Chains A and B, each alone.
Chain A
Amino acid sequence: MNKRLSSFFVYTLLTLGALAMVFPFVWMILTSLKSFQELFELRWLPREPTLENYREVLFGTQFPRWFLNSLVVASLTTVSVLFFDSLVGYTLAKLRFPGKNLIFVTILATLMVPTEMLIIPWYVMSVDYGWVNTFWGILFPGLLSAFGVFLMRQFFESLPSDLLDAGRIDGLSEFGVFWRVAFPLVRPALAALGIFTFLGNWNAFLWPLVIIQTPEMRTLPVGVALFSGEAGTAWHLIMAASSLAVIPVLIVFFIFQRQIIEGVVLTGVKG
């Protein structure tokens, strides 16, 4: 009896919490189906559901371009982070050479510096080199991640060295050993790191806001943020644009749920 009561209690609380988590998404989608006039009628469900807002966002603004920009920036940084972070992690874990610890500590130390501190020098640098308002300008700060190096080093350390030696005996070069033998063995870690890097760059706001000048270079978050201008706030369009920005992320999340959550666990509990 006591057990049933407490399990009822558990499920009720969890369901209430889950509603609080889901509600804003539902509300966003419901609002995106209303016309501007209907927004202020305080009705829960749209009276005449319309896809007009989506049509306007997709065809009347540069939203598709912003989507593409975010996709390009997030994909390129993810590829770069996966390759270089695992290369560095592997080198620090499995190769012997003078200065190894110094290098590792130096890389870790960069984790302490807040982004705000770097943004101004990055900006001065970008103006000097003409990187302002370019893809390179948006993505160069994220090409490697110290956190990723740390994570990958942990993983490579747990690989048995015999496997690598076997590769060497087969005549692979050092790079071949890394690329053909070690790299494929840390796939779970790569999945976690890759997904987080992608999400981080997809959602990034502060640096893109600073470095982007023209509308066609905007990334998704910057584009959505600047939807509201001096002419007023197009709430119906903002809600449609937000839905379009959020839904793909949620779909990817629910597909790769297991890997993503394992990734969090790996970095937080075991890392």
Chain B
Amino acid sequence: MLRSFIHARALWVSLLAFGLMSAQAQVTITYWQYDFKSKIEAIDELIKRFEAANPGIKVVHQTFPYDAYQQKVGSSIPAGQGPDVVNLFYGWLPTWVKAGYLVPLPESLINPKQIDSEFVSMAQSAKIDGKYYGLPTAVRSLALFYNKDLFQQAGIGKPPKTWAEFIEAGKKLTVKQGDRYTQIGYGISPDGQDHHLVREVLLRQMGGRPYSDDGRKVLFGGPEGLKAFTMYTDWVKKHGIGIPNFFPGNNGYRDGFIAGKIGMIIDGSFAIGTIRSGAKFNWGVAELPLEKAGGRKANFGSFWLHGITPLAKGPKLEASVKFLNFITSAEAQRYWLEKVGELPARKELIKDPKLSLDPVYGPFILSLSYAKATPFVDEAAQRTVIVNAINRVLLQNMDPAQSWKMAAEEEQKILDGFYK
């Protein structure tokens, strides 16, 4: 009874809305992303420009907290009231496509060959069975942020080129008063970017590979993995260049850097905007240190892409594709770089020498050429595996070898569960 009443009302409202729409030949589409201040402001501005150029289309922009984002998408699309265009982390793609939350981009409107040639190769992770499920506006890589003022005070001339130099600098930057750290050299943060650093960067620098080519086997449990893992945990256990949870709260490592209490952090290019607006001192960016001078380079590349959901049909689909094309256009990517600080996903923009020589963007751009984006099957669970492995050593004094072995086993279970 109640249900039919509500349905009747919904029908009535949609009829009315439809009547209004057709009177003005207006299409309204909905765009969803998670809460990140500079991204919200950038999309708002891009929508303004898009609507001005396309008078028949209106874009509604809604955002959700990061922790609740997947839940909201997963519950809304099946209920038929979710977004038409949606922003997602590339690591979620397999699960989302499997659950039917995304449709392939129509080839009649977006040419896959053209994407292959125009976008950085990393963007091909958005392809499943030869079909693109979305496009990125920007890509990200990791680099070392350092506090130039603190470096100068400690008498360190240049940012470290190797991990040995990194540890030396870290020791000089760490200040202790009694049993309390008032300043630390490295903002260690297992659940920040460090889980990527260990599994994707240090491991590859040591000559290892995280997963088999088909993504079904965990390979990081081998000796290179253990070497990378032990090197990382030794930063705290042996060298004391940082302590976990130095700053309380979400991403305290970045807050601590901004507050001028941390000498170095490893963070993504997406942090540039936040650091630029918050930090009241001289800071610099450098490519990640290497195992030894001239050693193998590695970086973790990742991106957020815009996909189209099954809710966009007919005129809405057309409008959604138009919007997607616009927010991934060269114009939008240039604006995104200025506003958010994320690196453009189009090759032509990256090749711009002004960008690769830029003191802030340069190191990230250079890293892009050798960055890899590993596919995940359950990003949250796979992250927890590595974070726990680190915490077992740092917080519970477990032997790194034992903890690392456990992590490899746990993660293999997750992969087996997905591919069964």
Contact = CB atoms under 8 A, between A and B. Distances in A.
B259 A132 contact: no
Chain A binding site: helix, strand, loop or mixed by DSSP? mixed
Interface stretch (B63-71, B233-241, B291-299, B344-352): B63-71
Contacts of B37: 229, 231
Interface string A168-209: 000000000000000000000000000000000000000001
Interface string A121-134: 00100011110100
Contact of B274 (A209, A226, A232): A232
Interface size class of A (residues with CB under 8 A): 20 to 34
Contacts of B78: 127
A36 B258 CA distance: 10
Contact of A229 (B2, B65, B259, B280): B65
A233 interface: yes
A257 interface: no
Contacts of A158: none
Interface of B: 2-3, 6, 10, 34-37, 62-68, 72, 75-76, 78-79, 81, 247-252, 254-255, 258-259, 261, 274, 280
A213 B6 contact: no
B66 A40 contact: no
8 contacts: A37-B280, A130-B6, A130-B81, A132-B81, A215-B63, A228-B249, A232-B251, A233-B252
B79 A233 contact: no
Given A226-B68, A229-B35, A230-B66, 11 more contacts: A36-B259, A37-B280, A127-B78, A130-B81, A213-B62, A213-B76, A215-B63, A231-B251, A232-B255, A232-B258, A233-B248
Contact of A230 (B247, B251, B261): B251
B75 A132 contact: yes
Q: 9 closest A-B pairs (Cβ-Cβ)?
A: A233-B249, A226-B65, A228-B250, A127-B79, A233-B250, A232-B255, A230-B66, A232-B251, A229-B35
A214 interface: yes
A84 interface: no
Contacts of B247: 40
Contact of B76 (A36, A132, A229, A232): A132
Contacts of A233: 248-252, 255
Contacts of A37: 259, 280
A235 B261 CA distance: 16
Contacts of B72: 213
A213 B62 CA distance: 9
A232 B75 contact: no
A132 B3 contact: no
Nearest to A40: B259
Nearest to B38: A231
B10 A40 contact: no
A230 B36 contact: yes
A37 B249 CA distance: 15
A40 B65 contact: no
A230 B79 contact: no
Contact of B36 (A214, A228, A229): A229
A40 B251 contact: no
Contacts of B259: 36-37, 39-40
